[in-house]
Amino acid sequence: MPELPEVEVVRAGLEPAVTGARVEAITVFDQRSLRRHDGPSEDFVDQLTGRTIVSAERRGKFLWLPLAGHGLDAGPQALVVHLGMSGQVLLRDRATDDNLTRIRIELEHVDHGPLRLNFVDQRIFGSMAIDSLAPTVDHPEQLVPSAVAHIARDPLDERFDDRLFYERLSRRNSGIKRALLDQTLISGIGNIYADESLWAARIHYEQSAASLSRAKARLLLAEVRLVLAKALGEGGTSFDAQYVNVNGASGYFSHSLNAYGQQGNPCPRCGTLIVRESFMNRGSHFCPKCQRLR
């Protein structure tokens, strides 16, 4: 599943191309990619055609494109994009098609001319939807889709509240990795970056979140930010052709992984073999010497 760096790479790639672009036409090839839209494909097409994209926004793993135009009574709206397991948003010229395109959006930009936005999804777990925008609780001037309202800010958000995070973490009796994966506590972190951050901070994934000292919690948050920033700088983590940016290029953070997927390899820090254990229908990767359960 794409995590914060992968989604941010897509958002950053989209923003200069789609901001100010007008939606000329939409073709829905597979209605399953509209499962989160409140209405049939005809409604999706009618609501989106003729609208202007204002920007490209993200919170955690969630991506949306605020819309202007139409003067709808519904208030401010956005095109919300869920990448799911294998979703891709590819910027193309009008002559380029992609295999497994589920939704095609034709754009006209004052500077870039005609563009094509292809939503490609092999497994069809992702989707697009028109959703209403509402003010956030902590900053009413900031609008987010209703589907994203319950999602916490991510650690790269300039408005992320470190102190509130530490306080909420201190009341969690669950394992620390389970807490990091809770998108209502801190968003954008999935299995890969949780394992990498915990390895960097030398914390066992089953260590009780409430048992962490404030100093250890600060260290962990700092490592989370470092890991996410490095992954973002390297275009995210791509293990196969499903994780790509808007131009179809893969990220290369997989070459920098210290724990995730490294079971059987020596720990880069101490040489002990990295171990993988079953965790929440997936796996946790850690060094049994550096990350002892205390």
Q: Can you give the residue ranges of every domain in the chain?
A: 4-148, 162-286
Q: How far apart are CA 62 and CA 127, in angstroms?
A: 11
What are the pLDDT digits (tens) for 205-262? 999 999 999 999 999 999 999 999 988 888 665 434 444 555 555 544 567 789 999 9
Domain 4-148 architecture: Alpha-Beta Barrel (3.20)
Name all contacts of 276-282 with Cβ < 8 Å and 24+ positions apart.
279/177, 279/205, 280/178, 280/181, 282/191
Band of pLDDT at residue 2, cut at 50, 70 and 90:
confident
Confidence of residue 73 (pLDDT cuts 50, 70, 90): low
Q: Check residues 9 and 164 and name the one with the higher pLDDT.
A: 164
Greater model confidence, 75 or 129: 129
Give, rounded to a whole angstrom, the gap between the first and last alpha carbons of the chain. 30
- Per-residue pLDDT tens over the stretch 193-207: 999 999 999 999 999
**Residue 178 vs residue 72, higher pLDDT:** 178
Question: Do 265 and 273 meet the contact criterion of CB atoms below 8 Å apart?
Answer: yes
Among candidate residues 7, 27, 24, 5, the one with its CA nearest the CA of residue 87: 7
Tell me, what's the pLDDT at 239?
Answer: 36
Residue 61 is among the residues annotated as catalytic for this protein: yes
Mean pLDDT throughout 113-128? 94
Catalytic-role residue among 32, 282, 292, 294:
282
Catalytic-labelled residue, pool 3, 6, 8, 57: 3
- Residue 216 catalytic? no
- Answer for the pair 124, 32: CB distance below 8 angstroms, yes or no: yes
pLDDT in tens, 141-161: 899 999 999 999 999 999 999
Looking at residue 69, its pLDDT comes to 82
Residue 13 near residue 91 (C-beta atoms within 8 A): yes
pLDDT recorded at residue 253 = 59
d(CA 67, CA 50): 10
- Mean pLDDT rounded to a whole number for the chain: 90
3 is catalytic: yes
Q: Is 2 a catalytic residue?
A: yes
Which of residues 137 and 283 earns the better pLDDT score?
Answer: 283
Fold of 162-286: Helicase, Ruva Protein; domain 3 (1.10.8)
Can you give the pLDDT at residue 214?
97
Which pLDDT belongs to residue 70? Answer: 73
Looking at residue 85, its pLDDT comes to 83
Looking at the DSSP bridge assignments, the partners of residue 7 are none
pLDDT for res 252? 44
**Nearest residue to 115 via CA among 246, 8, 18, 15:** 18
| Catalytic residue selected from 61, 102, 104, 177 | 61
Q: How many CB atoms lie within 10 A of CB 83?
A: 23
Per the DSSP assignment, residues forming a β-bridge with 208 are 175
